Structure 1
Amino acid sequence: MTQVLFYGCLFITFSPILAFFFMVIAKNSQLVILTIGGSFFWLVSILISAIWWYIIPPMREQWWFIISFSVLFQEIFRYIFYRLYSYGFNDRPSLNQIKETRHQMALDSMRKRKQQNGGSSSNEIESINNEINNNNNNNNNDDDENKEITEEEKEKIKIEKQKQREIEISARLETLSARPNHTLSSAAIGVGSGVAYGFIMFGSILWESTGPGTLFSPACPTVNLFMLSSIITLFMTLLHVVYNVLAFQGYRSKKYHLVAFVIITHFVTTYLTLLNLPTKTTSCFGSVFTVGVITLFSVGFCIFSLLKSDSITKIH
């Protein structure tokens, strides 16, 4: 049963966020890099929190002190990452903008060709008449002229192929230099921090489930400790994605009420995990149920704010 418990808790915790990674993020190399960057910045924030916890020995047993500074450092590094992201990507055109400019350039070139063809119609008629008159005098030199025409056509075909290759290469370079969608970028960064959170905070607990026997939470003796931790970690990983999307949208559009919502919700959900401590006044049901409700509300609020600001369907 230990292997079943291990894989069951593993799939419960990481299936949604890894499915989103492989189905959406893994298809874009820039989003993968942002995901790695998000996990790195989260690890740095936790490292600084651990150093802060270590240098103040009297506060090591005070959970409110540890949690408050841990959340504070995470939000600070989230803002630092946003500044780096805005510095590197805000000035770049999006892929849709590049497609629009290409389409507009193609339309302009077609219009120019039509204008040139329309203006030179009389010249073409005169040239055709001259060719008809000259054909009667140049019947003996038809073979040589055909050879020259075919050689010229071959050269024109080669030139056109080279131009097409240059256009394709430039289009690929423009596509690679294009920035990804802002919403997907912020979600990718949130996925990185969420996966890092899951493996660091839950990985050590999950590994213990492979041993003989099982453990139960003192705050909720009828619930398996590993299953309880996996459900809470699932909610937290999803919240990391939501936090990052809302925070980046708030910073980008200067809607600071979204940033305030992220910070307050982050503090509340983290403090709610203290209900799992083995005391007489705590209850694991209150922790899991409350965090689950906050997660559902946060996801709905995130989708509503994106639709309201047209961030999902916005081209630029």
Structure 2
Amino acid sequence: MSLYTFFGCLLIAYGPILSIFFLYIAQSAQHVLVTVASAFFCLIALLFSSVIWYLAKTVQSTLTISIVYSVAIQEIFRWCYFLLLQRSEAGLNMITRHPTSPYNKLEFGFVAGYGYALATSLISYISILVESIGPGVIMCPSCPNASLFLISAVTTTLFSLLHMAWMTVAFDGYSKRSWSGYGKVAWVILSHFGASYATLMNTSTTIAYGCVYAVVMELIILLISCVLIGHSLKLKLSVPTASHQHSS
């Protein structure tokens, strides 16, 4: 049964992002370049978090503190990557399929989010996935009827989708000097903290069915983020229409 568990968890954790890569990202060399650069920024952020964790020996076992600086560093590098893309946006738009499309910034955000999703999912879950090949099964403390391999796989795929949604919302928020833009950036930061802290319920021994609550919370955050993306797309669509009506 260990091989069945391995391949099942593998497809659950990496199936969605692999599908997105082959069906969308791989179709454009520009998208691959943006993805690789974003994954590099994410890896640097994770490296900084690892260095802090290694140096802060007194709080290494305190996950609540580790989440604080880890999420903060990822968000800082998310903003830094936006600044980098903003400087090269004119060049990127020149070689894109639709140079004048108002959706280009959101598209770059989604592709950049894929790089974040790829890097974090590989680093956070690959070691757990390898352990699933072994003869033993580690059960989830908060959900004794489910294995930790399965719960971690579901969490990995949800966080992959969340990172793509967060990056898209963040890029739209960074580009606006208004309260709506600041609100979107605040939502990305706060929801990132919320989703990360929700994962602590997976290993909690005091919260019954904590893994279910964690998954539900992550799904709610993903749904709200998708609503924000839909709202941004609707606004982008209305801008050329309004200008066209004004000119006519």
Q: TM-score range by the shorter chain?
A: 0.7 to 0.9
Partner of 2:192: 266
Give distance in 2, aligned partners of 1:211 and 1:276: 21
Query: Which of 208, 211, 223 is matched with 1:284 structurally?
Result: 211
Give distance in 2, aligned partners of 1:311 and 1:247: 20
Matches within 5 A, 1:107-186: 181-186=104-109
Give distance in 2, aligned partners of 1:237 and 1:43: 15
Partner of 1:302: 229
Equivalent residue pairs, number = 234
Find out whether 1:247 has 2:185 as its counterpart. Answer: no
Contact kept, 8 Å, 1:183 with 1:311, in 2: the verdict is: no
The 3-state SS of whatever aligns with 1:67 is helix
Partner of 1:221: 144
Q: Deviations over 1:171-223 (max 9, x none)?
A: xxxxxxxxx92222211111111011111001100111111132211121011
How does the TM-score come out when normalised to structure 2? 0.87
Give distance in 2, aligned partners of 1:251 and 1:14: 29
Partner of 2:86: 86
RMSD: 2.3
The 3-state SS of whatever aligns with 2:175 is helix
Paired residue type of 1:238: L
Give distance in 2, aligned partners of 1:263 and 1:193: 15
Query: Which of 223, 233, 245 is matched with 2:156 structurally?
Result: 233
Contact kept, 8 Å, 2:169 with 2:228, in 1: the verdict is: no
Q: Deviations over 1:1-53 (max 9, x none)?
A: 11111111111111222211111111111110110111111110011011111
Partner of 2:25: 25
Matches within 5 A, 1:24-103: 24-90=24-90, 92-93=93-94, 95-97=97-99
Contact kept, 8 Å, 1:246 with 1:258, in 2: the verdict is: yes
Give distance in 2, aligned partners of 1:76 and 1:260: 13
| Greater relative contact order (CA < 8 Å, ≥ 6 in sequence) | 1
Give distance in 2, aligned partners of 1:304 and 1:31: 23
Larger Cα-atom Rg: 1
Q: Deviations over 1:232-261 (max 9, x none)?
A: 111100000001101111112331211111
Q: Deviations over 1:249-301 (max 9, x none)?
A: 11123312111110011010001111122422362221122222222232233
Give distance in 2, aligned partners of 1:49 and 1:24: 31
Unaligned runs of 5+ in 2: 242-248
Give distance in 2, aligned partners of 1:189 and 1:46: 16
Contact kept, 8 Å, 2:169 with 2:225, in 1: the verdict is: no
Aligned-residue sequence identity (percent) comes to 34
The 3-state SS of whatever aligns with 2:144 is strand
Cα separation, partners in 2 of 1:259 and 1:225, compared to 1, 3 Å: same
Unaligned runs of 5+ in 1: 101-179
Give distance in 2, aligned partners of 1:66 and 1:213: 29
Contact kept, 8 Å, 1:250 with 1:257, in 2: the verdict is: yes
The 3-state SS of whatever aligns with 1:265 is helix
Give distance in 1, aligned partners of 2:190 and 2:26: 31
Paired residue type of 1:273: T
Matches within 5 A, 1:190-201: 190-201=113-124
Give distance in 1, aligned partners of 2:153 and 2:211: 13
Cα separation, partners in 2 of 1:97 and 1:299, compared to 1, 3 Å: closer
**How far off is 1:230 after superposition?**
0.6
How does the TM-score come out when normalised to structure 1? 0.69
Find out whether 1:293 has 2:220 as its counterpart. Answer: yes
Contact kept, 8 Å, 2:10 with 2:129, in 1: the verdict is: yes
